[in-house]
Amino acid sequence: MKRVRRFFNLKDLGRGKEKDTAAGTAVSTGSDDEDTRFTLNVETFSFKELSDATAEFNDIFLIGSGGSSKVYEGHLPGIGKVAVKRLSFDGVSRHTAAHLQRGFLREVFVLNSIIRPNIVRLIGCCSEESERLVYEYIYWGSMRKRLTELDWQKRMNIALGAAKALE
């Protein structure tokens, strides 16, 4: 596995100088600060490595899903257990695909900008396509699963704490 620096310029993305490979349209983060430049310094993995790690993205290794992505449990030699997020553009319009790509880019930007004990760590990305990310594996499960185990008062305290942190 090779460590590489990937450079992103959100200003260029907002001005149409780079193209969204999935939809063929310019993408922007929607941020008020489009001049932000950031470097993503992570491991890069081939599609084959990620496919092998997840048994070809087999549903038996599916550990979470959302409207536009699925997260699979995987095992990478030298790293161990990981979570591999795969964005899906199946059956979506070009406009929706561009919107999904922007959201994906926001996630990469935020995870690259914040190092906190309660935020999942971004380990790497796919070197062949940008719609696959590798995260540290969280053994106690997803936030959704953990929150359903708590009573409403504890959930509200967590929400209040998150809101204060964002403020």
Burial class for 98, CB neighbours closer than 10 Å (0-12, 13-18, 19+): buried
Q: Is 85 annotated as a binding residue?
A: yes
**88 vs 77: CA distance, rounded Å:** 25
The per-residue b/e assignment along 72-87, b for 16 or more CB within 10 angstroms, e otherwise, is bbbebeebeebbbbbb
Binding-site entries for ATP: 85
Binding-site entries: 85
